[in-house]
Amino acid sequence: MNPRSLWAALTAGGTAAATGSGLGLLGLLIYSFLAEEKVVYLPFALMTVAFISVLLGGFKGGLAAGSAGWLHGGAVAAFYLFMVILLKILVFPAVSFGMATLVFAGTVLLAGCTGGILGINLKFMRRQRVRRYLRRS
């Protein structure tokens, strides 16, 4: 893993994760305004948005990286977690970290690694198809 591939994975994957989170949060915000109930309880939906965003970010980071997809996807997930925890501390200064935070961090890291592995394998499969096609012609 060289710094150039790590930077490519972080920029491509981080952008995808941030965009996915932003769109997901916008959708949840619109849903909460349109809901019939006065109080809308959304922690599970927020965690699902974060999980899917990091999975897509890890996938995009794996596509951008040349090798070690799990490592590049994990780096995207770690950067995402760092930003989320930093934002959480800035917004809620008296925040406490417990078992739920550890479970959230573990699932986000697992999603990033899985996305990176899928991204690398998809890139490898594309190369194999191109090689087979070129051999036939």
- Average pLDDT along the chain, 137 residues, taken 10 residues at a time: 74 85 89 76 83 90 80 88 87 80 90 89 75 73
The SS3 of residue 42 is coil
pLDDT at 55: 92
Contact between 111 and 53 (Cβ < 8 Å): no
pLDDT value at residue 8: 78
pTM, 2 dp: 0.81
Which residues, 6+ apart, have CB-to-CB distance to 111 below 8 Å? Answer: 51, 52, 54, 55, 58, 77
Give the chain's domain count. Answer: 1
Residue 54's pLDDT is 92
> In this predicted structure, what is the pLDDT of residue 1?
64
How many Cα neighbours within 13 Å face the side chain of 121? 7
Tokens of 26: 């916008």
pLDDT at site 128: 74
Give the structural domain span for 103. 3-136
Please tell me the predicted confidence (pLDDT) of residue 137. 63
